[in-house]
Amino acid sequence: MTILLEEGDGCRNITCIILPKTFLNDEKATLEMLIEKCPLLEILEVWTFFNPSVLQNCKRLKEVRNYFTGRKEYIYFRNESVDTLVNLQNLKKFAIFHSRKSSSYYKHIAKLLQNHPKLVSLGNTDSSWAAHHIYTTCKMDTVLRFGLKECFWGFNRCVKKFNPRKQIAYTQQYSEFVKSAVALFPLVEKLNMVVYHKNCLEHLKKLKHLRVLEINFTLCCGLLARTAFISLLSEIGPQLKCLSIVGHSTMPVDVVMKYCSNVVNLDLCCSAIVQGGIETDSKNFIHLKKLIVREVDEESLEYLLRYSLNLKELLLVDALCLMTLYCTKSSK
């Protein structure tokens, strides 16, 4: 990289910079100097924290992905940084993969969204709180519809660190956050979402472009949440191509596949069961190519394998039933 800098205009025509994880943080200054010398830069993917002000002359920049491991995400979401990025009108992806405290910067994230109408992704930065801020502070005739296609809604670890009063308030408000996000981001195709209250699931029925759903029930489990989720799948299930379910409760895989007959990839990070009482059609599984199951009993595993005739990849993470079957057969 130093050689490029010494070449004067040698890096002027660079359009893409992708640096590996091995690139050290103490080389930050060198990275910043390089970025400033690349006015035609379109894609930047690094693991090193850098000052976002160095991007202001990269007016063709479309994608920024930063996987840095420090705790300086506030630099990206403070007012000066958001104002600096306003010149980057071609920006489509601004993914800061360490922004676990984005609850503190929702107003700045809202401003970032308003300044960059072409944005399609904010990585794993929560956008629901920012959406609610925009929705409730803008006049109804000026509220825009944004082009985000990849969204992350909710927090996993962050909410646990809230004081009890704030945690309860956030949980109660969350459904309204999701409602605002659905209204402002109607084009969402990929959604990673943490569920805090079952009522928020009702709003997802309006996402007609949704194709990939990664949903986490670890903070909201039980029969009521599962019932609300099945109700959601009964409406949007046919449009899904990829479905990932994380949770501590059981999930009836026969019911899921009844509604999600076009799913190609299914990841069940929960206890898969067969509810029964449902007529199963092998056509419900005709598109299923990849199946990941974290916990499954013998009946459910047999059910899945019987109907998944076109399966190409199978990963069983915790299938103790196989050991039981093996021991049973070995003892005979």
Task: Check pLDDT > 90 for residue 322.
Answer: no
* Amino acid in the structure at residue 13: N
- Distance from C-alpha of 58 to C-alpha of 78, rounded to nearest angstrom: 20
Q: What was the pLDDT predicted at 31?
A: 87
Name the more confident of 326 and 295: 295
Mean pLDDT is highest, among 5-19, 37-51, 86-100, 148-162, for 37-51
User: What pTM value is reported for the model?
Assistant: 0.87
Q: Is 326 exposed, middle or buried (0-12, 13-18, 19+ CB in 10 A)?
A: exposed
Estimate to the nearest angstrom the gap between the alpha carbon of 154 and the chain centroid: 10
How large a percentage of the chain has pLDDT more than 70? 79
User: Considering only CA atoms, which of 271, 284, 274 is closest in space to residue 245?
Assistant: 271
- Tens digit of pLDDT for each residue in 261-307? 999 999 999 888 898 877 777 788 899 999 999 888 888 888 888 89
Contacts for 241 with CB less than 8 Å, ≥ 6 apart: 211, 212, 262, 263, 264, 265
Q: What are the two backbone dihedrals, phi and then psi, of residue 274, each rounded to the nearest 5 degrees? A: -105, 120
- Tens digit of pLDDT for each residue in 155-204? 755 555 556 676 677 788 999 999 999 999 999 999 999 999 899 999 99
User: Greatest CA span in the chain, whole angstroms?
Assistant: 77
Which of the four pLDDT bands, split at 50, 70 and 90, describes residue 108?
Answer: confident
Mean pLDDT is highest, among 52-61, 95-104, 181-190, for 181-190
